[in-house]
Amino acid sequence: MFRPLCTLPLPGLLSSKLRELGFMYCDDVCFDRNGKPILDPIAEKVLRQWSDEPCTYWKELLATPATKNAFSHLQDECDLGRIETFCRSLDEYMDGGVPLQRITEFSGAPGSGKTQMCLHLCVDVQIPRAFCGLEGQAVFVDSCSAFTVSRLSEIAEACVNHCSMLARDGLNQNMLQAMKHFSKISILENVFHVLCFTHVDLMASIIYLKKFLSEHRQVRLIVIDSITFALQTIDNALQRVSLLYDLMENLRTIASEFDVAVVVTNNLTTKVETEKESSLIPALGESFGHSVNYRFLLGRTTDSNFVCVSGKNLNKSSVTVPFQITRSGIREVQNN
Amino acid sequence: MARLCKEMNSLFSEFVLKNLRLCGFHTVVDFLEENPENLVRITKLPYKDIVLLRHNIIANFSAFQSSGKTAYNEIVTNSAMVSTGIERLDALLGGGILTGNIYEVCGLSGSCKTQLCLTIAMNIALSLKQKVYYIDAKLDFSSRRIFSMLEEKQIAETDVTETLKRIEVVRIKDLYQLFSFLHTLRENLAQRELESSFVRVIILDSLPAVFFSFLNDTNNEGIALKSQLANTMKHIALECHVAFLLVNLASRHFDEIENLPDPDLTVSSVQTEVVKPALGKQWLHIPSTRLLLKKVESQVHVSIIKSINIPLCSSCILNIKDEGLV
C-alpha cells in the first residue's frame, strides 16, 4: 500500500507544488533501489527550495516513533519523580505526590483551595534533594490574578522552618549543608510568575515556555491557574475547543520532554440532568478530561477542612481524601 | 507508485516521459484516462506499444475481483478469533476479537475505556502469549497498573516480566506520527508473517487526542485525514490479519422527543440524554463493531451500538476489580 503525501506534515506550498508535478505518494518522491533510498530528481529540486539537505529533510518527515515494551516503561514509571504535598493521605493516594511528566487537574468551586494547592506545590518542588525533594524551580502562569506573594512567603517560611527542624533533629550533614541555600528568599527567587490576560497571552506563554525550559533546566513544575479563565475571552466555541487542544498538546510535549509536572486548575460548571437534580462538574467539557492524566475535585467542608475526590486515576479507585489548609499550607487533618 | 517513471516499463524512455509531463500527464491514472490516439501523437510511440503499456499498467496497478468463495476461504484460513480474556465480553462479542476488523470502544470521560484496553492487552500477552501493540496518544499507558493487575492474579515473577515484554508501547504526538508508525508496522508485519511472535491485536488509545487539533479547520483537512486513516487501518487489518481496537470519546446531547398527543390535545416533549460517539458522522461508519461503555459505581455496562453480526442492544456488565475488568 502506498502512503499518500497528504499524511506528511509538509508545508502547504510544498505539498501543492509536489501535487502539481504529479507526486501523489511518498514512494513517488523517494523509492528504494537495492535497499538505498533515492530521491526523484524533480522532487529533489523542489525540496531543495525548502532545505539544503533534501534527503535528511525527507527522512525526518518520515521518522517513525520508537516502540518500547511495557517492562522498560515500568522501570521508567517507578523512577518518575513526584512532588510531595505534605499531607500524608493525599501523597499516599497519589503514589507519592503529584507526578512529573504528567498533567494533573485540580477543579473546584471558588474558594475550594485550588490556588492554595498550586502555591503549596510551588514551594514543595523546591525542597532540597537532601530531604528527598526535587530541588526544582516552578513556573506559575497566572490568568486570574490569584497569585499573592505574601501567601507564598508564608508557606515558604513554614516549609523552611519544618526543614530546619528536621535537619537539627537528624543532625544530617547533607541536610544542614542544604539548609544554607534553602531559605524564604531562595524559594521566592525560584518561582517564575507569568501574567496572562487573554487566550493569546496564554498560548504565547506556553509556546515560549519551550525555549524558557531549555534554558532553565531546573524547572520541575508548571502551574496554570486557571486555564478556564483565559479561554473565556473567546466567543466562538469551536475555536475555543481547538485552541484548548492545541494548548494541551503543547503541554503534553513539554511535560515529557523537559521532565516537568504540569498542574492545571479548572472551574466548575452546571450539568443539567433531566430527571435528577443538576450537578456541578468540571468545566471545559467531557473531552478535556481526555487530555489530562489525573483529575481531582477539591471542595471545602468547613472553614479549614477540605476534601479531595479523584475523578480520574488510572491506578486506584475513587476515594475521598480530607486535608486541611493552615497558615503553613496544605496539611493532614488533625484529629482532635 | 502512481507517478510515471522508467522503472515501470522499459518503453517509458526519457523522451516519452518528458513529452507526457509537458502535456500534463504525470500519473498512471492520467495515462489511462487519455485517448490512445492522442498518446500516440504525444509520445511518438507506435499504437501497439501504447496498448501494451496500458495492459501493463492495468496488470500492475488495478484491483482484481475474486469470487466470494475464494474470499470466504481466505477469511476462514487466515483470520483468528482472539479471546479478550474477559469471559462476559467474549460471550458478548461471539467468541472474542476477530482479526480483519476494526473495533471501537467509546464512552464518556472516566468510563474505564483505558482500563478495558489495559486488561485486554494484559490478557492477550499473558494467556495467549502474543505480542500486542499499544499506541498511546495521550500518555495514559500505565505499566504500574498492568503490573499490579498481574500481582493480584498472583502470577510468577518471570511470567510477569515476560508478559510485560510482550506489550509494545508507542508514544505518538500527532496524526502524522501515527501514519508513519502504521506504515512502518505494515512493512514489518508483511515481512515477519512466518515468525513465531506475530501480532494479532493493535490497540489505539485514543483517537480523538490526535484529531482535536483539526477541529477548527476551514479546509476540511481533518476529514480527509480521517478517511486516509480508516483506509490505512482497514488495509493493515485485512492484509496482515490483525484487529484494531480503538478508543473513542463520547459526548452528551439532549434530544427532544415529542410524545404522542394525549386526549387533552396537549403535546408534551421529553428531553432525553443521548450519548454519541465523538469524531463526527463520517467516523460512525468506519468501525465494524462499536461498544459503548458506561460506568455505574464499580461496574461497567458494555453495550453494542454497532455491529455486523451481533444483535444490537445486547450488553454485559463487567466488574472493576484490582485485577482488571472481569
Q: Identify the band that residue B22 occupies on the pLDDT scale cut at 50, 70 and 90.
A: confident
Grid cell digits, residue B321: 476489580
Tracing cell 437534580 back to the chain, one arrives at: A277
For residue A285, report the phi and psi dihedrals to the nearest 5 degrees. Answer: 90, 165
pLDDT over 90 at A140, yes or no:
yes
A47-61, A259-273, A310-324, B300-314: the lowest-pLDDT one: A310-324
Give the model confidence (pLDDT) of B128-143 as tens digits: 888 999 999 887 888 8
Residues comprising chain A, all counted: 336
Give the model confidence (pLDDT) of A21-38 as tens digits: 888 888 888 877 676 778
pLDDT over 80 at A188, yes or no:
yes
pLDDT over 70 at B262, yes or no:
no
Q: What is the mean pLDDT of residues A281-303?
A: 82
pLDDT over 60 at B264, yes or no:
no
pLDDT at B153: 87
Give the model confidence (pLDDT) of B47-88 as tens digits: 888 888 888 888 888 888 889 999 899 888 888 889 998 989
pLDDT at B256: 62
Structure-model confidence comparison of residues B254 and A125, the more confident one:
A125
**Coil vs helix vs strand at B114:** helix
pLDDT at A212: 92
Cβ of B208 and A290 within 8 Å?
yes
Distance CA B288, CA A73 (A): 32
Mean pLDDT of chain A: 84
Percent of the residues in chain A that have a pLDDT greater than 90, as a whole number: 20
B-contacting residues in A 78-107 (Cβ below 8 Å): 78, 95, 101-103
Measured in whole angstroms, the distance separating CA B129 from the mean position of its chain's CA atoms is: 23
Task: List domains and CATH numbers for chain B.
Answer: 14-61 (1.10.150), 73-325 (3.40.50.300)
Mean pLDDT of chain B: 84
Q: Identify the band that residue A184 occupies on the pLDDT scale cut at 50, 70 and 90.
A: confident
Residue B65 distance to chain A (closest CA, Å): 17
pLDDT over 70 at B257, yes or no:
no
pLDDT at A171: 73
pLDDT at A271: 76
A253-267, B196-210, B283-297: the lowest-pLDDT one: B196-210
Q: Identify the band that residue A317 occupies on the pLDDT scale cut at 50, 70 and 90.
A: low
Helices and strands: H and E segment counts in chain A: 14, 16
pLDDT at A215: 92
Structure-model confidence comparison of residues A89 and A286, the more confident one:
A89
pLDDT at B195: 55
pLDDT at B202: 93
Planar angle of CA A36, B57, A58, nearest 5 degrees: 30
For residue B245, report the phi and psi dihedrals to the nearest 5 degrees. Answer: -120, 110
Cβ of B215 and A4 within 8 Å?
no
Going B136 to B140 to B143 to B146, the CA torsion angle's sign is negative
Residue of B nearest to A31 (CA): B1
Residue of B nearest to A3 (CA): B183
A81-85, A302-306, B116-120: the lowest-pLDDT one: A302-306
**DSSP states of B232-267:** HHHHHHHHTT-EEEEEEEEEEEEEEEEPPPPTT---
pLDDT over 70 at B268, yes or no:
no
pLDDT at B135: 93
Residue of B nearest to A238 (CA): B216
pTM of the model: 0.85
Grid cell digits, residue B210: 490526535
Nearest to A175 by CA among A186, A188, A160: A160
Distance CA A2, CA B232 (A): 9
Q: What is the CA radius of gyration of chain A?
A: 24
Cβ of B170 and A67 within 8 Å?
yes
pLDDT at B204: 93
Angle in degrees, 0-180, between the axes of helices A54-61 and A41-48, rounded to the nearest 10: 90
pLDDT at A314: 61
pLDDT at B259: 55
Nearest to A7 among B141, B171, B176 (CB): B176
Grid cell digits, residue A203: 498560548
Give the model confidence (pLDDT) of B162-213 as tens digits: 999 999 999 888 889 999 999 988 888 877 655 545 788 999 988 888 887 7
CB A272 within 8 A of CB A261: no
pLDDT over 70 at B14, yes or no:
yes
Distance CA A305, CA B61 (A): 71
Residue B266 distance to chain A (closest CA, Å): 20
Nearest to A326 by CA among A77, A51, A59, A120: A120
pLDDT at A170: 77
pLDDT over 80 at A272, yes or no:
no
pLDDT over 60 at A336, yes or no:
no
Cis amide leading into A51 (omega within 30): no
pLDDT at B197: 58
pLDDT at B15: 84
Q: What is the mean pLDDT of residues A233-245?
A: 81
pLDDT at B121: 92
B-contacting residues in A 25-64 (Cβ below 8 Å): 25, 27-28, 31, 40, 62-64
